[in-house]
Amino acid sequence: MEVKELKQAFAEAYKNEAEKVYFAPGRVNLIGEHTDYNGGHVFPCALSFGTYLLLSKNDVQQVRFKSLNMPEIIGLNLDELTTPLPNNSWVNYPLGCIAQYIKRGFSLTQGYDILIWGNVPAGAGLSSSAALEVVTACAFNDIFGAGYDRTELAKIGQLSEHEFAGVNCGIMDQFASAQGAQDHAIYLDCATLEFELVPVKLEGVKVVISNTHSPHKLDSGAYNDRVAQCTLAVNQLRTVKPELKNLAELSEAEFNQIKSAITDPIALKRAEHVVGECQRTIDAVAALKAGNIELFGQLMCQSHVSLRDNYEVTGLHLDTLAEEAWKVDGVIGSRMTGGGFGGCTVSLVKDEAIADFIEKVGAAYEAKTGIKADFYVAEIGQGVHVVE
């Protein structure tokens, strides 16, 4: 939808003109999966699709929310903005961000009307929820005059996800949505939140996203279990290395020396993945900077294997897309991206091989799963911003 149409929809819903329009993108992660909440590096890019938020003041002393994907308008009084709504309402994502401002001492003295529309494919693991959180955090940063920087907006989004959606996520998705830059990936150290923008305009190669359309999406239970298993691994390693804070602090060599302290076999597998993935991410970014895209691709494939065998967050759909991609000439690398279970893979594919890739991987995937996959050539866009 065009911004003009969104403004018309706003006027129809609220009988009032939108005063401001904001946009925040979804993301795709190139490498560094399940490393963020372990203090490691990640390497995501913001996408050109994301979530729009339109708003204006109203005179009803309520914040009213409408999504163009839902029939109803949900109105909340100004003293009802700090408690999540029941039944996993979508409103909890923006509401959780407003609640963070109120917790920090800001208060609303007047109502606002909000209209949301997004074009991130739903349930695809491309962070539509982070986009919704970050776009809300940005709009209310202006309303409250809080003056927060983009990193702070990402933190507000992450806290909303923890407290209002019940997912103990890391910072990657919200950070990418807040700090993304066109044609760049974000090399983020999740322990310090220092980051570097690395160009990913690749000569003759595109980033292709393949959507499993798989019904299993990452539920908060399976995700929070992984977070807890990593915490258990750290706690057990502390019996031999008391100062350890995060798995990412360990080199592979040091981990191998002390890993017998992890007595829980599941926690051990999870830690194996994290320690290896942290190193792969550092190596992959170094390879990209050195122009060694082939090595980058090999590390992507190793990342997938580790997420499949040690972290156990892939499954038939993601494995089929990645493993079929590996067979196609001109595919430099392919792996699952995001939290896992369903959602998308990300692949680096030579320009001349893209048509063949889509045809072969699409056909093999449909034959195996009965589902038609979707393929998008990723456009790497800008982080959260005011549209008008």
Q: Does 335 bind ligand GLA (CB under 6 A)?
A: no
Q: Does 155 bind ligand GLA (CB under 6 A)?
A: no
CB of 171 to ligand GLA, least distance (A): 7
Rounded distance between C-alpha atoms, residue 102 and residue 286, angstroms: 42
CB of 340 to ligand GLA, least distance (A): 7
Q: Does 323 bind ligand GLA (CB under 6 A)?
A: no
**Residue 81 to residues 24, 62, 92, 146, 268: CA-CA distances in angstroms?**
22, 10, 10, 18, 41
CB of 41 to ligand GLA, least distance (A): 11
Q: Does 339 bind ligand GLA (CB under 6 A)?
A: yes
163 vs 356, beta carbon nearer ligand GLA: 163
44 vs 111, beta carbon nearer ligand GLA: 44
Rounded distance between C-alpha atoms, residue 104 and residue 94, angstroms: 16
29 vs 347, beta carbon nearer ligand GLA: 29
297 vs 343, beta carbon nearer ligand GLA: 343
Q: Does 133 bind ligand GLA (CB under 6 A)?
A: no
Handedness of CA 174, 178, 184, 188 (dihedral sign): negative
Interface segment toward ligand GLA; rule CB under 6 A; list 1-9, 69-77, 165-173, 283-291: 165-173
The closest alpha carbon to 198, from 325, 296, 289, belongs to 289
Q: Which of 18, 25, 33, 262 binds ligand GLA (CB under 6 A)?
A: 33
CB of 263 to ligand GLA, least distance (A): 25
Q: Which of 10, 37, 43, 255 binds ligand GLA (CB under 6 A)?
A: 37
Q: Which of 133, 173, 249, 272 binds ligand GLA (CB under 6 A)?
A: 173
CB of 338 to ligand GLA, least distance (A): 5
CB of 123 to ligand GLA, least distance (A): 12
**Under rule CB under 6 A, how many of the chain's residues touch ligand GLA?**
10
113 vs 277, beta carbon nearer ligand GLA: 277
Rounded distance between C-alpha atoms, residue 72 and residue 14, angstroms: 12
32 vs 381, beta carbon nearer ligand GLA: 32
Interface segment toward ligand GLA; rule CB under 6 A; list 170-178, 256-264, 328-336, 372-380: 170-178
Strand-strand pairing, 44-57 and 20-29:
antiparallel
Active site residue 374: no
Interface segment toward ligand GLA; rule CB under 6 A; list 29-37, 69-77, 106-114, 240-248: 29-37
CB of 314 to ligand GLA, least distance (A): 12
25 vs 111, beta carbon nearer ligand GLA: 25
User: Active-site residue among 36, 113, 173, 319?
Assistant: 173
Which residue reads 């997420």 in tokens?
Answer: 307
Q: Does 126 bind ligand GLA (CB under 6 A)?
A: no
Using H for helix, E for strand and C for coil, what is the string for the chain? CCHHHHHHHHHHHHCCCCCEEEEEEEEEECCCCCCHHHCCEECEEEEEEEEEEEEEECCCCEEEEEECCCCCEEEEECCCCCCCCCCCCCCHHHHHHHHHHHHCCCCCCCCEEEEEEECCCCCCCCCHHHHHHHHHHHHHHHHHCCCCCHHHHHHHHHHHHHHHCCCCCCCHHHHHHHHCCCCEEEEEECCCCEEEEEECCCCCEEEEEEECCCCCCCCHHHHHHHHHHHHHHHHHHCCCCCCCCCHHHCCHHHHHHHHHHCCCHHHHHHHHHHHHHHHHHHHHHHHHHCCCHHHHHHHHHHHHHHHHHCCCCCCHHHHHHHHHHHCCCCEEEEEEECCCCCCEEEEEEEHHHHHHHHHHHHHHHHHHHCCCCEEEECCECCCCEECC
CB of 331 to ligand GLA, least distance (A): 22
Q: Does 39 bind ligand GLA (CB under 6 A)?
A: no
47 vs 328, beta carbon nearer ligand GLA: 47
Q: Does 338 bind ligand GLA (CB under 6 A)?
A: yes
Q: Residues interacting with ligand GLA, by CB under 6 A?
A: 33-34, 36-37, 169-170, 172-173, 338-339
> Which residue numbers are catalytic?
173
